[in-house]
């Protein structure tokens, strides 16, 4: 008991910080989201209820943001994890140039998001002076160019997903190459002597052994993709609603500080909806992982 | 299945990239492992035992030389085509699979006409598990078992396809002393029961002596001697083999031969018929000493250790190489040092002479 008390006392500063900077704002957001007709200037409101949620859920901008976010999540999380796994496997096969490639693939990670976004814009954007490198290439191979930054929705979404995958890839490759390197080679020797095909070796030995890391990447990938915002700004500028490329976090931001902002209640409601979604998905992830992930 | 090694050599580029010289892990091996025997591959750590084993199973390809299983040249064959089972020091059981799944794993790899039905697999798994007596543990995970049990599972997994050759790489090194003894007997029993040609790698001479039909002693990639355990113990061909086998170690003195007599210092200790004059190493097995108040070999007495059946007499002599002489005598015999000195005579058949330069055995007539 006494030991416990000391432990709690030692934890007190950290707990206090948590309370002030994490729990209090959370509770505050929760309360805001139920206060109807909140007025920033007078800090007053009319009543308590679900009106804010009703408004947000019927706001076409929010629906668009929700749709965009889901598309980004569903496309980029599996694709980036899968491609990263593939690249890591190839990298761990070619031992000689592994170190070199690890640096190359890690470059985007240490490069600023906005800088990478600028490069993507130059690659994809149509301007009065140039069609952009990608379009020039498409036209060179006989296709018709398309404006990826200001053009049709699918083109913008394509660039968005491409960009998101590109940005998250280095971290995933780094994690996966080290996970692969940590698998004891004797398992592969044993498998080889037993005549295990390389696919089966991967599926039955490698994958289960690195499954905790894959799972970690999937769960953080989901959470990260649901919270996407800055990548969108980097590509399409700050007026994401006009571009039709807003995300939930972008919507929350706009509701607070955007041109049409000043509605903390709507922002809070949207934030809590996002929280509910992420919470549900993460819970499902955890449940699935109990069955599939192997912890030694 | 008889295994024939012909001029088998394996060279590795040096792990230390600054050193250009290649490492010769296995150098010109020429010998035959007879069918159905348990062969102990014995040598100090880093002498190339694992490499030799990997060459036999196909995980490594030889730089030079050939390997035959009976008359079939398997040098270029992949491991899975050779029909060998391999057991590792760390068991290498797949930690995420149960014992049953681990043992079944090699069977599930079979494709095409060799493909087995579920029932046949289950039968074979059970058979292998019974052989190593772990059939009650089939649903456990590896980490829920003791090291000895895990090693049995590894052996069952290696045996489930009924390989023609079983290869074990230091299979007992990770077990504690009691389990090591138990598992060692177990391996001997399984080998005798199945009659599979088995190569057993170890750096522990006692282990090799106790379970092998034939021992192959190697050092720095070079084969030193091959033969029955007792033969090698009694007739080591060089000083290294003499010192490597037997605990306590053989006692080595600097000596000389003069007119067909062996001297340690100025004391003539035995006859050496047909041996020319010159300096030699005189190596005496611990059981080769007789406490004898008139014996020629005078040593300063240090201590006596009573070990029940035997007594170790610990002594020293200025011509002795190493720390202390250890002589083992029957415990009934009295040791009475006179002025701190104990005298021995030697049993000639427990004494071996070695050339001082090339350290090879010098035979007496
Ligand atoms: N893959 C390898 N690359 C370079 N050197 C190796 C390799 N495998 C083994 N060696 C070297 O070969 C020698 C024999 O190694 P090994 O067969 O593992 O010995 P043991 O099993 O008897 O301890 C050692 O000097 C070791 O460093
Ligand atoms: Mg070894």
CA B156 – CA B138 distance, rounded (Å): 11
Among candidates B224, B209, B223, which has minimal Cα distance to B360?
A: B224
Q: Are residues B258 and B239 in the same domain?
A: no
Q: Does the beta carbon of B117 sit less than 6 angstroms from any atom of ligand 1?
A: no
Q: What is the pLDDT of residue B64?
A: 95
CA A61 – CA A259 distance, rounded (Å): 14
C-beta atoms surrounding B27 within 10 Å = 19
Q: Are residues B168 and B310 in the same domain?
A: no
Contact assignment for B109 to A195 by CB distance below 8 Å? yes
> Which of B53, B54, B57, B105 to probe by mutation at the A interface, max A CB count within 10 Å?
B105
* Residue-number span of the structural domain to which B343 is assigned: 251-362
CA A126 – CA A103 distance, rounded (Å): 32
Q: Where are the beta strands (DSSP E) in A93-155?
A: none
Q: Are residues B210 and B332 in the same domain?
A: no
Residues lower than pLDDT 70 in chain A: 1-2, 95-106, 108-109, 296
CA B252 – CA B282 distance, rounded (Å): 6
Q: Are residues B264 and B286 in the same domain?
A: yes
Q: Are residues B70 and B156 in the same domain?
A: yes
Domain stops at, among B244, B273, B296: B244
Domain stops at, among B223, B244, B265: B244
Give yes or no for a contact between B256 and B321, defined as CB atoms under 8 angstroms apart. Answer: no
- Helical (H) or strand (E) element with B43: none
Q: Token digits for A208?
A: 């289960």
**How many Å separate Cα B210 from the centre of its chain?**
9
Domain stops at, among B176, B209, B244: B244
Task: Count how many domains chain A has.
Answer: 1
Half-sphere exposure of A211 (CA within 13 A, CB side): 20
Q: Are residues B91 and B159 in the same domain?
A: yes
Residue A107 lies in a domain: yes
**Interface size, chain A vs chain B, as Cβ–Cβ contacts under 8 Å:** 56
Three-class SS of residue A234? Answer: helix
Q: Does the beta carbon of B274 sit less than 6 angstroms from any atom of ligand 1?
A: no
Q: Token digits for A110?
A: 């240490």
Among candidates B264, B293, B269, B291, which has minimal Cα distance to B279?
A: B264
pLDDT digits (tens, 9 = 90+) for A206-264: 999 999 999 999 999 999 999 999 888 888 888 888 889 999 999 999 998 887 778 88
Residue A262 lies in a domain: yes
CA dihedral A293, A227, A125, A255 (to 10 degrees): 160
Residue A130 lies in a domain: yes
Per the listing, tokens 């991967």 go with A202
- How far B336 CA sits from the closest chain A CA (Å)? 56
- Helical (H) or strand (E) element with A118: helix A113-124
Residue A122 lies in a domain: yes
Which among B84, B86, B96 has the least Cβ separation from residue A294? B96
Q: Are residues B293 and B145 in the same domain?
A: no
The contacts of residue A129 (CB under 8 Å, 6+ apart) are none
Give yes or no for a contact between B79 and A192, defined as CB atoms under 8 angstroms apart. Answer: yes
> Which of A184, A186, A190 to probe by mutation at the B interface, max B CB count within 10 Å?
A190
Give yes or no for a contact between B196 and B189, defined as CB atoms under 8 angstroms apart. Answer: no
Q: What is the pLDDT of residue B324?
A: 93
The DSSP 8-state label assigned to residue A129 in this structure reads S
Of chain A, the end-to-end C-alpha distance in Å amounts to 33
Q: What is the pTM of this model?
A: 0.83
User: β-pairing, B289-291 with B341-346?
Assistant: antiparallel
CA B291 – CA B102 distance, rounded (Å): 57
The contacts of residue A111 (CB under 8 Å, 6+ apart) are none
Q: Are residues B126 and B268 in the same domain?
A: no
CA A106 – CA B208 distance, rounded (Å): 51
Q: Are residues B166 and B190 in the same domain?
A: yes
The pLDDT tens digits along chain B (365 residues) read 899 999 999 999 988 878 888 999 999 999 999 999 999 999 999 999 999 999 999 999 999 999 999 999 999 999 989 999 999 999 999 999 999 999 999 999 998 888 999 999 999 999 999 998 999 999 999 999 999 999 999 999 999 999 999 999 999 998 888 889 988 999 999 999 999 999 999 999 999 999 999 999 999 999 999 999 999 999 999 999 999 999 899 999 999 999 999 999 999 999 999 999 999 999 999 999 999 989 999 999 999 998 888 999 999 999 999 889 999 999 888 888 888 999 999 999 999 999 999 999 999 88
Q: Are residues B55 and B120 in the same domain?
A: yes
Which among B80, B90, B143 has the least Cβ separation from residue A193? B80
Task: Count how many domains chain B has.
Answer: 2
Q: Are residues B24 and B94 in the same domain?
A: yes
Identify how many contiguous H helices and E strands chain B contains and give both numbers.
9, 22
Identify how many contiguous H helices and E strands chain A contains and give both numbers.
15, 2
Q: Are residues B50 and B147 in the same domain?
A: yes
Q: What is the pLDDT of residue A100?
A: 67
Q: What are the chain B neighbours of A208 within 8 Å (beta carbons)?
A: 94, 96
CATH of the domain at B76: 3.40.50.300
Q: What are the chain A neighbours of B95 within 8 Å (beta carbons)?
A: 209, 294, 296
Q: Does the beta carbon of B105 sit less than 6 angstroms from any atom of ligand 1?
A: no
CA A159 – CA B345 distance, rounded (Å): 93
Q: At what angle do helices A153-181 and A113-124 cross, to 10 degrees?
A: 130
For the range B64-68, what are the long-range contacts, defined as Cβ-Cβ under 8 Å and sequence gap of 24 or more? Answer: B64/B7, B64/B8, B64/B9, B65/B5, B65/B6, B65/B7, B65/B8, B65/B9, B65/B28, B65/B29, B66/B5, B66/B6, B66/B7, B66/B8, B67/B3, B67/B4, B67/B5, B67/B6, B67/B8, B68/B2, B68/B3, B68/B4, B68/B6
Q: What is the pLDDT of residue A259?
A: 78
* Residue-number span of the structural domain to which A234 is assigned: 31-292
B325-330 β-sheet, strand order: B289-291, B341-346, B297-307, B310-316, B325-330
- Helical (H) or strand (E) element with B219: strand B214-219
Q: What is the pLDDT of residue A97?
A: 60
Q: What are the chain B neighbours of A190 within 8 Å (beta carbons)?
A: 86, 88, 92
CATH of the domain at A276: 1.10.3720.10
């Amino acid at each position: 008991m006494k030991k416990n008390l000391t432990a709690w006392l030692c934890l007190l500063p950290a707990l206090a910080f948590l309370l002030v900077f994490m729990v209090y704002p959370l509770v505050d957001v929760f309360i805001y989201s139920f206060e109807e007709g909140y007025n920033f200037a007078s800090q007053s409101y009319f009543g308590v209820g679900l009106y804010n949620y009703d408004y947000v859920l019927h706001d076409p901008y929010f629906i668009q943001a929700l749709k965009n976010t889901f598309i980004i999540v569903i496309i980029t999380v599996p694709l980036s994890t899968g491609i990263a796994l593939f690249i890591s496997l190839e990298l761990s096969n070619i031992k000689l140039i592994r170190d070199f490639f690890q640096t190359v693939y890690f470059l985007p990670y240490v490069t600023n998001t906005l800088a990478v976004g600028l490069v993507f814009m130059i690659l994809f954007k149509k301007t009065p002076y140039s069609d952009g490198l990608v379009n020039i290439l498409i036209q060179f191979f006989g296709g018709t160019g398309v404006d990826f930054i200001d053009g049709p929705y699918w083109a913008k979404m394509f660039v968005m997903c491409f960009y998101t995958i590109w940005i998250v890839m280095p971290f995933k490759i780094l994690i996966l190459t080290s996970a692969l390197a940590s698998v004891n080679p004797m398992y592969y020797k044993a498998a080889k002597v037993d005549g295990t095909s390389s696919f089966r070796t991967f599926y039955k030995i490698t994958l289960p052994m690195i499954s905790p890391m894959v799972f970690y990447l999937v769960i953080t990938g989901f959470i990260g993709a649901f919270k996407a915002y800055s990548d969108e700004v980097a590509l399409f500028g700050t007026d994401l609603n006009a571009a039709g490329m807003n995300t939930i976090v972008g919507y929350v931001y706009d509701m607070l500080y955007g041109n049409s902002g000043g509605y903390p209640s709507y922002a809070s409601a949207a934030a809590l909806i996002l929280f509910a979604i992420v919470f549900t998905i993460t819970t499902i992830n955890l449940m699935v992982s109990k069955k599939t992930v192997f912890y030694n | 299945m008889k295994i024939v090694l012909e001029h088998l050599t394996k060279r590795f580029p040096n792990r230390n990239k600054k050193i250009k010289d290649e490492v010769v892990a296995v150098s010109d091996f020429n010998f035959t492992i007879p069918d159905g025997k348990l062969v102990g591959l014995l040598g100090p750590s880093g002498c190339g035992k694992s490499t030799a084993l990997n060459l036999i199973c196909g995980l490594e390809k030889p730089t030079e030389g050939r390997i035959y299983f009976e008359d079939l040249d398997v040098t270029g064959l992949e491991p899975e085509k050779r029909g060998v089972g391999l057991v590792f020091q760390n068991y290498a059981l797949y930690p995420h699979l149960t014992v049953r799944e681990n043992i079944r794993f090699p069977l599930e790899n079979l494709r095409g006409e060799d493909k087995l039905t579920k029932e046949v697999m289950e039968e074979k798994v059970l058979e292998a598990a019974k052989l190593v007596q772990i059939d009650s543990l089939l649903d456990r995970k590896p980490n829920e078992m003791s090291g000895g049990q895990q090693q049995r599972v590894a052996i069952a997994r290696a045996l489930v396809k009924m390989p023609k050759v079983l290869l074990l790489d230091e299979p007992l090194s990770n077990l504690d002393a009691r389990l090591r003894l138990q598992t060692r007997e177990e391996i001997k029993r399984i080998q005798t029961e199945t009659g599979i040609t088995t190569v057993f790698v170890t750096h522990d001479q006692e282990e090799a002596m106790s379970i092998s039909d034939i021992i192959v002693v190697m050092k720095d990639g070079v084969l030193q001697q091959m033969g029955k355990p007792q033969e090698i113990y009694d007739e080591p061909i060089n000083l290294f083999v003499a010192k490597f086998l037997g605990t306590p170690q053989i006692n080595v003195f600097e000596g000389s031969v003069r007119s067909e007599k062996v001297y340690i210092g100025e004391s003539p200790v035995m006859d050496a018929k047909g041996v020319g004059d010159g300096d030699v190493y005189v190596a005496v097995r611990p059981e080769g000493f007789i406490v004898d108040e008139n014996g020629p070999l005078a040593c300063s007495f240090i201590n006596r250790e009573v070990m029940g059946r035997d007594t170790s007499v610990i002594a020293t002599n200025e011509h002795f190489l190493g720390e202390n002489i250890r002589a083992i005598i029957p415990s009934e015999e009295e040791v009475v040092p006179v002025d701190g000195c104990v005298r021995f005579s030697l049993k000639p058949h427990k004494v071996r002479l070695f050339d001082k330069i090339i350290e090879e055995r010098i035979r007496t007539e």
